[in-house]
A and B are shown apart, each in its own frame.
Chain A
Amino acid sequence: MSIYQCPSPNASTNTCDVLKYLIVMLAVLWLISVGTERLGYNWQWYRVPRYIFTFEDGHLAAGPLILGLMVTLQISGISLLLSFAIGLTAALFRLSDSHAARFLARCYLEIIRNTPLMVQLFFIYFVLGPVLGIERFFSAVLALSLFEGAYTSEIFRSGIVSIQKGQWEAAYSLGLGRFDTYRYIIMPQAIRRILPPLTNQGISLIKDSALVSIIAVYDLTMQGQVIIAETFLTFELWFTIAAIYLAVTMTLSVLVNFLENHLSVQV
């Protein structure tokens, strides 16, 4: 039986499969707990909640982990906007007539896409930081924006290139200059097509922002490391942090799906 000849799924095979899946997931969790017991690790989940939130004077106060999450979201948000700006500029440079612009964009893309983000973070913080006088938070934002900007520029470029040539020709015959063509004709259509991949960049950014902990920016991962260094609640905290990241990125994924379904272009 081939892939395209599935037996029509009926309720009982579906529930059977779902049950099997749940059993496998539970088995995995059980394996984890058994495995760590063998190591002599003593789980202390009851110590974790105070790092998420605390009750102070009768109202809810954010614990270190939530504060770190705020910083993560802040860095990701600012970097996202900045990376759009950088990416759009790089895409336009690559498509322009100017040799210098194309060369510059190409250099930028090749360097950024071929070196690890960690190396770029260290480079910007330890080398460019003292030179240009940029402090920690902005170094992190700059490094993330430059890194994601390279991938965003490819998205922008593919969006612009996907607009049919007829649109360009019509704009030219109407006497519109290059800038006006981009502004009124090309970009509005291109952006509708690339909005889902662009929002995917947001998810990428949140994941990559975890790396800024290596230059001691107090984001979610850094806060986790500090707490673990003091309390040694290694596994509990790493799983909690992973769960928080998952919650944020899954929410964004749902948003992306929603956008994809409602903005899909019928070409």
Chain B
Amino acid sequence: MIKVPKITLLDVVIMLVVTGILGYIGYRITVGIHYKWNWSAIPQYLFRIDKNNGGWTANLLLQGLFTTIRLSVWATLLATILGTVAGFFRISKSLFKRLLGRTFVELMRNTPPLVLIFIFYFFVSDQIMSFLGVDDFIRNTSERTQSVITFLFAPPRFFSAFISAAITVAIFEAAYITEIVRAGIQSIEKGQFEACNALGLSWRQQMQYVILPQAIQRILPPLAGQFISTIKDSAIVSVISIPELCFQGMELMAATYLTFECWITITVLYLTLTLSLSLAVERLEIFFRRSTA
């Protein structure tokens, strides 16, 4: 028997209301404000013909998308390292370490990310970057190294800005990863810890051989979710002119004044990126659930 979907009153009401709203919006766009749609101007910002080799290369919008992906990947990697360390601090037996961990998490989680970005942008990049002398090093390496760096990070002229943005986002995300790691480790049954004690294992051995292998399975899915969060939070670095996707959107709007097409395109690009990653994360969760069952 084919199951016929039941149409309830709510269905009808909703469909009427939604159609009404869309109709009103359509009316307002065409009649109310005389907006002149110009979708044909958009594709040239996605792809362009490279004068050098005549093929299609990515233009501003796609370049912004790639920068967003690179930024999120590096920020998540750094944040995982920092977050794991801070996570261990949070559950350490030393009050000193616990206080440090708690301060870090509370500071980062209670300050608006926008304010943090501005503060870090003026501090972090100078202190750390000039300390490492990265700028000049990058400039003087060979062509091939530079192209590798451009693929992995950013073109040499944006390199230090990119790294500062990555570090800033990483510090901010690390606060959330700390909590994920902490929750993961604390979710391991007490019996495991007691068994380790009974066997006389040191803290390091306990972590390495018993606790972490189990905790990692519980930490990975929320961690992947945090990665997707990072992609969204990376939009904030557009205020410090890092050429990622949201920034390119603002530039596009500035160049063409095609607000509607521009923001619809940007939204679609973000959705494509995050929805496909969400699907991948769901697969990951199913995989881990099966292996722990």
Contact = CB atoms under 8 A, between A and B. Distances in A.
Judge: A and B partners, yes or no.
yes
A241 B127 contact: no
B232 A207 contact: no
B115 A9 contact: no
Contacts of B197: 2, 4-5
B145 to A, nearest CB: 30
Q: Which of B115, B196, B197, B250 has the most CB of A within 10 A?
A: B115
B69 interface: no
Interface residues of B, number: 70
Nearest to A249: B110
A20 B263 CA distance: 50
B99 interface: yes
B8 A122 contact: no
Nearest to B210: A2
A127 B259 CA distance: 7
B94 A17 contact: yes
B29 A131 contact: yes
Given A114-B274, A114-B275, A131-B25, A101 B10 contact: yes
A2 B200 CA distance: 9
Interface in A1-46: 1-7, 9, 13-14, 16-18, 20-21, 24-25, 32, 35-36, 39
A250 B264 CA distance: 37
A261 to B, nearest CB: 18
Classify the secondary structure of B's interface with A. Answer: helix
A239 interface: yes
Contact of B93 (A6, A20, A97): A6
A44 to B, nearest CB: 15
B46 interface: no
A35 B124 CA distance: 10
A36 B260 CA distance: 43
B206 A2 contact: yes
B10 A207 contact: no
A201 B8 CA distance: 33
Q: Which of A17, A96, A118, A132 has the most CB of B within 10 A?
A: A118
A127 B194 contact: no
A250 B103 CA distance: 12
A17 B103 CA distance: 14
Size range of the interface on A? 35 or more
A98 to B, nearest CB: 4
Contact of B18 (A104, A130, A213): A104
B14 A101 contact: yes
A15 to B, nearest CB: 9
B233 interface: yes
B68 to A, nearest CB: 10
A245 B119 CA distance: 14
Contacts of B36: none
Interface stretch (B49-57, B162-170, B235-243): B235-243
Nearest to A34: B127
A253 interface: yes
A258 interface: no
Interface stretch (B79-87, B216-224, B265-273): B265-273
Interface in B182-213: 190, 193-194, 196-197, 201-203, 206
A111 B271 contact: yes
Interface in B86-143: 91, 93-96, 99-100, 103, 106-107, 110-116, 118-119, 122-123, 126-127
B146 to A, nearest CB: 28
A2 B6 contact: no
11 contacts: A35-B127, A111-B267, A118-B235, A119-B246, A122-B250, A128-B25, A131-B28, A206-B112, A211-B112, A211-B236, A250-B110
Top 8 closest A-B pairs, CB basis? Answer: A116-B235, A210-B112, A17-B95, A17-B96, A98-B10, A114-B274, A249-B110, A100-B11
Interface of A: 1-7, 9, 13-14, 16-18, 20-21, 24-25, 32, 35-36, 39, 96-101, 104, 110-111, 114-119, 122-123, 126-128, 130-133, 203, 206-211, 213-214, 221, 234-235, 238-239, 241-242, 245-246, 249-250, 253
